[in-house]
Amino acid sequence: MGIILPDAYDLIKLDSVDSTNLLAQKYIEEGRVEGPLVIVADEQTHGRGRYDRQWVSTKGNLYCSIVLKVNRPIVQLSQLSFVVALAVAEAIGEEQKVSVKWPNDILVDGKKVAGILVQSFNIAKNRADIVIGIGCNIISYPEKTDFPATSLKKEKMAVSRDALVEKIVTALEKHYSIWLSGFVGIKQLWLTKCAHLDKEIVVKGKNYQQKGIFRGISEIGELLLECDDGNKIENITIGDVFFED
């Protein structure tokens, strides 16, 4: 059957690629992106996650990049991570089991099932070319990870890769249009879906570790961490979140 996308979208489907995000970047640099574009690969030889970490990309899982031309001020671009996380969560389905974790992970039963890497290119005052890289563990997941991982198959939620791509694009269109009328709606939706709100978490960066109560997100998507027994709220822009229990 293949992948069926809305008319405006171009689709590139590959057996293997270094990274769908790298290919998307190449297309942007060569001026070959006219409208929305989806690149899907069966496997990646150089899949990358946040902080340039390796993203294990063996066959059977979902690896895709969605390229969008976004007409919004640069300060708002970080909000897109939340738009995409909500879309992927909705596409995966089973609302009660699925949650989101700052900044852009999707969890099933508290374990990471999908990650998102959003990159911006050709940034001007009110526009940018955005690459939204999405990796979702459909049939397998890496065993040795700092944060526990899982797959849709393990959670008995398996779906075909092509159907999942279609659902992600449909859900992204919906959440993107909510975002176009302001971040408020997205922020509210994200807060209803996020794991460990008002609970203790640890944020770990390269050279720091900070414990506190997770109090939501700011207007630009920073994590709000209540520290020192409620005397201080820190706005965190970078790091990985771990749960305390």
- What are the residues facing 190 on neighbouring strands? none
By CB under 6 A, is residue 239 in contact with ligand BTN? no
Rule CB under 6 A: choose which of 5, 65, 89, 151 binds ligand BTN: 65
User: Taking a C-beta distance cutoff of 8 angstroms, is the pair 83, 90 a contact?
Assistant: no
**Pairing outcome for strands 105-108 and 240-243:** unpaired
Q: Distance (Å, rounded) from C-alpha 146 to C-alpha 178?
A: 33
Q: From 101, 189, 114, 116, select the one nearest 151 (Cα to Cα).
A: 114
Instruction: Find the binding residues for ligand BTN in span 114-143 (CB under 6 A).
Output: 115-117, 133-135
Instruction: Find the binding residues for ligand BTN in span 96-115 (CB under 6 A).
Output: 105, 115
Interacting span for ligand BTN (CB under 6 A) from 7-15, 63-71, 120-128, 184-192: 63-71
Q: Which is nearer to ligand BTN, 82 or 213 (CB)?
A: 82
By CB under 6 A, is residue 176 in contact with ligand BTN? no
Per-position b or e across 42-56, b if 16+ CB within 10 A of its CB: bebeebbbbeeeebb
By CB under 6 A, is residue 20 in contact with ligand BTN? yes
Q: Distance (Å, rounded) from C-alpha 20 to C-alpha 41?
A: 7
Interacting span for ligand BTN (CB under 6 A) from 8-16, 19-27, 148-156, 189-197: 19-27
Binding residues vs ligand BTN (CB under 6 A) = 19-21, 44, 47-50, 53, 55, 63-65, 105, 115-117, 133-135
